[in-house]
């Protein structure tokens, strides 16, 4: 798809930091600690719709203490990445899918939807301005973070009339400090992430706030991540921290890829959707269905399940090497990265970095 033009007031200066300082900040960027030199801000007003926005230097914003987001929490976000191609051009991965998910989050939180072209065009404008910040090595990228929050000054409990949409960007290396080594996960039996009818399918800030205590418990158990079970039966596996989960079964020597079905309580990941498509390209069976924790444990014990991994934009694919719960710990694939997880990871990275053909039209020219 061609790049979209969006009318923004340009208050940008070419490279405020200079090449040496930028290069220094891009060394081992980790995840989400270093930001580029500019940002996009587009206001929305109930009576006027989306207003003309600005592309301007990255800087703190001012917010009235009575801004509704600080009280009643209307805040949503997205995350996807821009990749340097072998010829030096820059492409993003499935940005329209993020735009659609942003709008579905907006609907759930009673916030205004945004034209897909405006969302994608605003991100493109920022990436073009800060293109020097897009790293080249495979596995590195520029993570873009569009977000929207309520700005109306009012304490009545109702949907805000005014909002700001922002885009910021951050050069990204490995999400987990240990790189792509398998993680040990903690099964959360005390806390749930989302309940039927709740906000689990939205990329809503409050979902992440509500997950932090469980994540701290997981860390106290020596685990890198928490795995969520369904709120009602506390038995069906939903997702892992901020990533979707896949199970690899083996039937008659062939991988069968299974991922929890979208019940409204988990985030419909774009990496998840892409892996289902890639699995079919590889000739694997792919199923979206319920998997209980009991089934997970039994399938590993009986050798029917050979791998498990999590997937998301930030970390791409993270193998699950061991699973810990109150009943004990079991490991998967000897706590090593399995061949199926590795194959998906390589296939995705190759498409994203322009090293393999983009058969599904996933890449967007910035
Ligand atoms: N699940 C949650 C709760 C997330 O925050 C994310 C990250 O965006 C994902 C899953 C994976 O989604 P995606 O593949 O679109 O990054
Ligand atoms: C992901 O991209 O997988 C995420 O979960 C993003 C996270 C930083 C919220």
pLDDT digits (tens, 9 = 90+) for 214-228: 999 999 999 999 999
pTM: 0.96
Structure tokens at 174: 């490995």
Residues with CB under 6 A from ligand 1: 79, 239, 242-244, 267, 269-272, 312-313
d(CA 354, CA 52): 34
Write down the pLDDT at residue 206: 98
Q: How far is it, in rounded angstroms, from Cα 259 to Cα 245?
A: 6
Q: What is the pLDDT of residue 205?
A: 98
pLDDT value, residue 180: 78
Pocket test for ligand 1, best of 269, 275, 362 (most atoms within 8 A of CB): 269
Contact by Cβ (8 Å): 201, 255: no
Nearest to 325 by CA among 207, 215, 226, 192: 226
Only one residue has tokens 């991540």, namely 225
Q: Where are the beta strands (DSSP E) in the chain?
A: 8-10, 38-45, 49-50, 53-57, 75-77, 80-84, 90-93, 141-150, 162-172, 183-188, 225-229, 237-240, 244-251, 254-260, 285-289, 305-312, 316-325, 328-331, 363-365
Beta pairing class for 363-365 and 90-93: antiparallel
pLDDT at 173 (0 to 100): 85
Which atom of ligand 1 is nearest the CA belonging to 101? 15
Tens digits of pLDDT across the chain (366 residues): 555 679 999 998 888 889 999 999 999 888 899 999 999 999 999 999 999 999 999 999 999 999 999 999 999 999 999 999 999 999 999 999 999 999 999 999 999 999 999 999 999 999 999 999 999 988 899 999 999 999 999 999 999 999 999 999 999 986 666 667 899 999 999 999 999 999 999 999 999 999 999 999 999 999 999 999 999 999 999 999 899 999 999 999 999 999 999 999 999 999 999 999 999 999 999 999 999 999 999 999 999 999 999 999 999 999 999 999 999 999 999 999 999 999 999 999 999 999 999 999 999 999
Tokens coding 153: 């000054």
pLDDT for position 12: 84
Report the separation in Å between the CA atom of 143 and the middle of ligand 2, taken as the mean of its atom positions: 10
The predicted pLDDT at position 54 comes to: 97
CA-nearest residue for atom 2, ligand 1, is 242
Ligand 1 centre to CA of 340 (Å) is 20
Can you list the alpha helix ranges (DSSP code H) found in 200-292? Answer: 205-220, 270-281
Give the CB-side neighbour count of residue 254, counting CA atoms within 13 A.
9
Q: What residue ranges line ligand 2, CB within 6 angstroms?
A: 79, 242-243, 312-315
| Predicted local confidence at residue 178, as pLDDT | 63
């Amino acid at each position: 798809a061609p790049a979209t033009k969006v009318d923004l007031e340009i208050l940008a200066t070419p490279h405020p930091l200079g090449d040496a300082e930028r290069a220094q900040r891009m060394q081992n960027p980790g995840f989400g600690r270093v930001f580029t030199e500019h940002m996009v801000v587009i206001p929305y007003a109930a009576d006027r719709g989306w207003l003309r926005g600005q592309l301007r230097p990255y800087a703190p914003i001012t917010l009235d203490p009575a801004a509704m987001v600080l009280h009643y929490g209307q805040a949503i976000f997205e995350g996807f990445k821009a990749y340097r191609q072998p010829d030096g051009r820059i492409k993003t991965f499935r940005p329209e899918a993020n735009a659609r998910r942003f709008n579905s989050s907006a609907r759930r939180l009673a916030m205004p939807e945004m034209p897909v072209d405006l969302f994608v065009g605003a991100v493109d404008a920022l990436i073009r301005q800060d293109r020097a910040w897009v790293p080249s090595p495979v596995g590195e990228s520029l993570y873009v973070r569009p977000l929207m929050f309520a700005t109306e000054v009012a304490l009545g409990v109702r949907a805000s009339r005014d909002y700001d949409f922002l885009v910021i960007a951050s050069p990204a290396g490995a999400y987990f400090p240990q790189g792509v080594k398998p993680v040990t996960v903690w099964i959360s039996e005390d806390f749930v992430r989302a309940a039927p009818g709740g906000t689990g399918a939205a990329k809503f800030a409050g979902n992440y706030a509500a997950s932090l205590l469980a994540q701290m418990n997981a860390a106290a158990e020596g685990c890198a991540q928490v795995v969520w079970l369904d709120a009602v039966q506390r038995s069906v596996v939903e997702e892992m921290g901020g990533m979707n989960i896949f199970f690899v079964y083996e039937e008659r020597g062939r991988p069968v890829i299974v991922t929890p079905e979208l019940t409204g309580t988990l985030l419909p990941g774009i990496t998840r959707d892409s892996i289902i498509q890639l699995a079919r390209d590889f000739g694997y069976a792919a199923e979206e269905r319920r998997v209980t924790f009991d089934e997970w444990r039994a399938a590993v014990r009986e050798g029917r399940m050979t791998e498990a991994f999590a997937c998301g934009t930030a970390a791409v694919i993270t193998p699950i090497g061991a699973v810990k719960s109150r009943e004990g710990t079991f490991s998967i694939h000897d706590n090593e990265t399995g061949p199926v997880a590795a194959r998906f990871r390589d296939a995705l990275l190759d498409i994203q970095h322009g090293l393999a053909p983009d058969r599904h039209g996933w890449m967007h020219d910035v």
